[in-house]
Amino acid sequence: MTKEDTTAFSLQTREMFASIAPRYDFLNWLLSFGQDRNWRKRAIDLLDPIKNDCILDVATGTCDMVVEIEKRNLSTHIFGIDFCKNMLNLGKTKVSQNNFDNKISLQIGSGECLPFANNFFDSVICSFGVRNFSNIQMGLEEFYRVLKPGGKIVILEFSEPQNKILNIIYDFYFNFILPKIGNLISGHSNAYSYLPESVANFPNQKEFIEWIRKIGFKKVSFIELTFGIVSIHSAFKDT
């Protein structure tokens, strides 16, 4: 992509998320058959935050991740960033409802140009966000930059099941059923048609961990959840 292409892609994606924001949480729950919350909890388990950790949630959206981390009462310092104001406004409401206003810092910004100093965070987590970057490599480089030496990244993303029979069922649901339901309920003509397209264009698990490794991360690995429908990728910044 040229610079103009990436800018146009980012604006288009941001506008799409702004449009579906009011129904986003409900559709996540409905279209994942209630599994999205479990997936996020598993990602946080793998992140394994400890007391006084400084944690960044990239593409925080409606703030499910940061709220779940804070609910674990670990006295962590949590930051969330998202490029969509509408999503972040809904997230701020959720943070306030849980009385976490003084414990979670939120701001608008891009995962490909993080407004934080080098070596600032103990860990970075991103759920279902990297796939929407206009430049994924740039985003990974930013994750690496803001992490302290020895810091950890955890990336939760959609993936395609490796089992052939499951993959046929998955493809039918993901490409034909999910878009119709999602577009109808969200009121957006193609937001949930974009979802299977973005997953199809995203590298598979083994390819993606190679992308992460090339940035300079060590101990790169992934685990599959729900028969490979989603995967959690993790790695460490070299000490």
For the chain, domain boundaries = 3-21+33-158+203-236
Report yes or no: 159 and 88 within 8 Å, Cβ to Cβ: no
How high is the pLDDT of residue 6? 54
CB atoms within 10 A of CB 2: 7
How high is the pLDDT of residue 192? 85
Report the DSSP pairing between strands 77-82 and 121-127. unpaired
Contacts of 85 (CB under 8 A, 6+ apart): 18, 108
How high is the pLDDT of residue 1? 53
CB atoms within 10 A of CB 75: 12
Report yes or no: 230 and 157 within 8 Å, Cβ to Cβ: yes
CATH class of domain segment(s) 3-21+33-158+203-236: alpha beta
Look up the pTM and report it.
0.92
Match 């709220």 to its residue by tokens.
67
**Alpha helices (runs of H) in the chain, residue ranges in sequence order:** 3-31, 36-47, 64-70, 85-97, 136-146, 164-172, 178-186, 191-201, 205-215
How high is the pLDDT of residue 191? 79
Contacts of 175 (CB under 8 A, 6+ apart): 196
Listed as ranges, residues in the chain with pLDDT below 50 are: 2-4
Report yes or no: 231 and 206 within 8 Å, Cβ to Cβ: no
How high is the pLDDT of residue 3? 45
CB atoms within 10 A of CB 204: 13
How high is the pLDDT of residue 193? 86
